[in-house]
Structure 1
Amino acid sequence: MGRFSSPLAVQFAAMGLDGVPADARVLDVGCGPGMLTLELARRRGADMIAAVDPEPVFVAATAEACAGADVRVAVAEDLPFPDDAFGAALAQLVVHFMSDPVRGVAEMARVTAPGGRVSACVWDHGGGSGPLSDFWRVAAGLDPAVRGEAALQGASEGQLVGIFQRAGLHDVTQSVVDCTVAFLDFDDWWRPFLQGVGPAGRYVATLDDVAVARLERALRDELGDTGFEITARAWAAVGIVG
């Protein structure tokens, strides 16, 4: 997923920082290994960036990669910052994993100064245009019990806007962000699924060898053996703190 997250971060950071004063601090909520944090630091300087993630291993990786940033272990629903501390708060590919998305976005608004921007984006899992939509569609064809990511909160058109509005943000707008990633061949695309990471990887890890081989064959038939590109779409929402 990092192959998609990095190019997505370039476009999402530009959206989230639009109109934000250069001297305002910026918060990355759910930073993971730091793709968005690094892009924000490239644009504003690491000393102007704070980031949080509930996983200590990600916090350590981001702090090492982005020296000078304030990186802490924390969940979105309970941010360790005072009110009005930032000019902008961004959450890339995080809202759908929050235990309480409305509370998480409301916390982002709390720590953002009046007039500041709160932004979030989520892959279009619901519309079948996410980076893993091909995987889940083929897997469901082989196993009707498969639960993909389409039902995750924020993963369909309009859902992020609803979450932002319930969190008390104003002038909420929705947009679409696309990014295209090239793969050398099928194996280049398939290997990460065998590492047990993320919902798709965890699903593959539950399968026996026969089922894994069957899924691989079906996906290979779908995507082919030679190089290909996948264009993924994300829904994005931006709201203003009142």
Structure 2
Amino acid sequence: MAFDVAADAYDRFMGRYSTLLAPELLAAVGPEPGDRALDVGCGPGVLTRHLVELLGADHVAAADPSPPFVAAARERLPGVDVRQAPAEQLPFDDDSFDVVLAQLVVPFMSDAVAGLREMARVARPGAPVAATAWDHASGGSGPLSPFWRVVTEFDPGAYDESGLAGQRSGDLVAIFREAGLADVRQLALTVHLPHATFEEWWEPYTWGVGPAGDYVASLDDAGRERLAATARRLLGDGPITISGTAWCAVGRA
């Protein structure tokens, strides 16, 4: 899936929602000053920045498999230990962190259970491990759900994100438990983002980020114009307020 893209493209696509979600995740987990935290699948550093503001750069580490995202996170957050690595192969020692987090990453892990096991491995015994995933399942309420509903009308049977791991109620909890985490609980975290115009909402979908960007990029120019026209008919000219709900699982190593 298309995540080897410029960090600015991600920032203006999913970053506009994940920036709002990050403090909600931190409030659910409650890291405290003095804790050492790891951000798994950090992207260009949205959640990492919030951790730095709370804990200080020397108490934060991060990992992501995308070279452009790693480069952006290193540039934006000097002093943070940012490594290029997938969740399934974290380059950190056992029992290294007081908090281990993965924001909007589990659905894109090649092996979600293995990724969570790695997160638990690098967490100290009893430390909180948490992850979020948008509610993008069919009929869901994630921030991309309006886009996928447009696609369903425009191209019935087209791929959407509803089959990815963690995007239904209980999915993350089941993955956490299979990975061996204890005291697992589920929360629902909701954010709201207004878009002044249709164009402000639509344009980032044309930048090739993630499965939605892959779908738009697969269309020819005429197809993209028809898709945009369908979206405008269903969503209007704006303003458009998008509400997004993420499932959150919190357990202990």
Consecutive unaligned residues in structure 2, runs of 5 or more: 1-13
* Residue pairs, 1:32-71, within 5 angstroms: 32-71=43-82
Structure 1 residue 22, shift from structure 2 partner: 2.7
Consecutive unaligned residues in structure 1, runs of 5 or more: none
In 2, distance between residues paired with 1:178 and 1:148?
21
Partner of 1:25: 36
* Residue pairs, 1:69-88, within 5 angstroms: 69-88=80-99
- What is the number of equivalent residue pairs in this alignment? 239
- Which moves more between the two structures, 80-89 or 134-143? 134-143
In 1, distance between residues paired with 2:76 and 2:118?
26
Matched, 1:10 2:49: no
Partner of 2:7: none
* Residue pairs, 1:97-116, within 5 angstroms: 97-116=108-127
Partner of 1:147: 159
Superposed CA offset, 1:145-181 (max 9, x none): 3111111000110000000000000000000000001
In 1, distance between residues paired with 2:66 and 2:146?
28
Partner of 2:135: 124
In 1, distance between residues paired with 2:211 and 2:32?
37
Partner of 1:212: 224
In 2, distance between residues paired with 1:187 and 1:21?
40
Structure 1 residue 21, shift from structure 2 partner: 4.7
Give aligned-pair identity as a percent. 52
Superposed CA offset, 1:21-44 (max 9, x none): 532210000000100000111111
* TM-score, normalising length: structure 1: 0.96
In 1, distance between residues paired with 2:240 and 2:224?
22
In structure 2, give the amino acid aligned to 1:6.
T
Partner of 2:204: 192
In 2, distance between residues paired with 1:21 and 1:136?
38
| Match 2:243 to one of 206, 231, 237 | 231
- 4+ aligned runs moved over 4 Å, structure 1: none
